[in-house]
Chains A and B, each alone.
Chain A
């Protein structure tokens, strides 16, 4: 049967075809792969060296100064937390909605979530003057009964991000178990030991599946509101203040939509090269990409709505401080950043209204890159711009990044890409189990009737 399937795989893949394609990725990587890992590691080392210097010399080596004490590091933090959101959207929320196209892409998205949270979590610590005291955020028993102030949004952040990291890791781990068991049964040598340990002895018995399905469903049910809460909490770091440009009730849903927007764009940024390099075109089809593109389009429209609403209410309120901050945001010295952001986030994604663009990998990749840039800029414009033009015009000063901050940002991308690449090499990056479960949809997507319908 396996032999027959190899020839007919294109039109009607079988279980064996799926296994064959995913397992092929797990075979030992070549020199190119390790060269890429070293390339990433180099930038991580540069960032590490600069950070060591920053710890030694103090935050003066950054561009931070009064009144703009939050800038690139916090922008990076919010950006990476945002990237983390699409994973849980695709794996949990779309799971609850029984969406069919999530099967081929959710593992990659979920992996991205975990590593993006790991990256994001570094930035508040990098941003500290005395990073070794970061544990002061956590409640722990101590002699003077001192506890964190639970009214502080930064403490909410600590709880939200830790919970998110824990739950999304558990969710990833749970979903991996059946696939790792599959890899275990095909592997040899140290890989067999490694997969055996990770699979926890999964054998797909009826008892295991019954409890697994329930646990997975409930985890998804918990992860869905969690993902919304996490970026809401991040947005409340800003909205709880009275800083003009930050204090706005729309921030929570607006940040959540923006997070999903940037996250799905990052999924596309990673998936499109990955499916090419690893030869996964038959598993990640135009049908999957088309649907991801629709999510980008929807969230792009939501954040455009938010920009319009925000501006309208500022004008409607006739609040002098808000009006001034927004005037500076649009037409001030750094106004070009705002208009670049509008182009990237609101205008360019409109191309996705065209079905032809949505199934063209080249177009999608380009649009996704623009969205990544645009969403990074959005956070920068909100965070830096509002602080630089606060309620005391005499204090106004715009921020300029330092080399340290730029290279630490670059290092964070390298760190994220390295982790993701390693994972994609050693773990089943596509859920074989779920692809098989919904194999009829994959067959339909491959039968080319999708392209014609689109």
Chain B
């Protein structure tokens, strides 16, 4: 990005209406290095007898990055279903930017087969009442099939979304014409299978780590979180791009940022509502088989992380983005979005790790290396999407300008 960054002066730069071509050479190298660090760290940890920690970090990262990628695609389906066109094709390319990670995430999911004994407590200590559901072959078969379906649908959706006729539709905000047929069929299909598959993932990959515990809303909460992480990643990307390219990208338009800010705000409130709806029922009902899950996360050593998670996902966006001006200020919106993503990472961590390691918070080079590896892989997968986003968000269509 830096190699091509443009001055943000107010006068229109020469060639301001040319689509921006990115050269991401140095960033690609960095990402490859990160992947290498991650891979080496992961296998070193396995070799050194820290398999549990390595696999926990793997699972946390897998869910975190997949959620962003898949959440973004689902945000795009939501745009089609509500006929949103406030930023033209750019908002669709922005939402679909991370889709490249979805197939990789599917492959990485299968990697967990190797670590199933380290991840799932019921592999070594089966619960006789629940073996029908909680056994490794069936779990991988159903989740794998679901993910395969969702991956194929998402890729189909993303490629259809880039067709000429669909892009033309996205450029016409001033009518009530519905999107082209293909999008009207694929969008609900992707959204529905997302809700179904991500609920399944939540029940299987997170809830089953404490096999006694259950919460009916947990699946819905997990996919709502995933949706929100897609939105925050979009907001963060938009802010970074407008900082790098200024008036040349559509995200310079404060109205676009305002819309993104409103979405970050609204779905953050929705997230805390779903959290509260679960907490209150469990707190009030006071049934030990339900409460232990929350109790473990609200005592030391996990309490600070739980508080931090709620603060970053709900507290900060709510109080900072309440007004109109902060939503329109790139630096503020960007910081909130970045902190929100950190919060989501913490959420995955707080949901998964205390079930496996209740007494201590494992952190150290293993977790850092694995996270770095996933970050690098995610970036590599997102670069093609970023190029397409730049083509859509700059150039003659982009209604830049308008400061307000």
Contact = CB atoms under 8 A, between A and B. Distances in A.
Interface of A: 97, 99-101, 225, 228, 232, 236, 239-242, 247-253, 287, 301, 305, 309-310, 312-313, 316-318, 440-441, 444-445, 449-450, 453-454
Interface stretch (B55-63, B270-278, B328-336): B270-278
Interface stretch (B136-144, B215-223, B236-244): B215-223
Interface residues of B, number: 33
Contacts of A247: 281, 285, 287
8 contacts: A100-B176, A236-B284, A249-B217, A251-B216, A252-B281, A301-B192, A316-B130, A441-B176
A304 B267 CA distance: 22
Given A228-B273, A309-B216, A309-B219, A444 B176 contact: yes
B84 to A, nearest CB: 9
B216 A248 contact: yes
Contacts of B215: 249, 313
B287 A232 contact: no
B109 interface: no
B277 A445 contact: no
A223 to B, nearest CB: 14
B186 to A, nearest CB: 14
Contact of B177 (A99, A248, A309, A453): A453
A101 B175 CA distance: 12
A313 to B, nearest CB: 5
A249 B176 contact: no
A242 B176 contact: no
A287 B176 CA distance: 9
B176 A253 contact: no
Which label, helix, strand, loop or mixed, suits the secondary structure of the A interface?
Answer: helix
B216 A249 contact: yes
B159 interface: no
Residue from B216, B274, B289 with most neighbouring chain A CB atoms (10 Å): B216
A248 B174 CA distance: 44
Nearest to B179: A453
B317 to A, nearest CB: 15
B195 interface: yes
B215 to A, nearest CB: 5
B133 to A, nearest CB: 6
A228 B271 CA distance: 13
Contact of B281 (A101, A236, A450, A453): A236
Contacts of B196: 305
B9 interface: no
Nearest to A248: B216
A225 B219 contact: no
Contact of B277 (A99, A100, A232): A232
Given A97-B82, A225-B269, A444-B175, A249 B199 contact: no
Interface in B269-303: 269, 273-274, 277-278, 280-282, 284-285, 287, 289
Contacts of B274: 253
Contacts of A444: 175-176
A301 B219 CA distance: 15
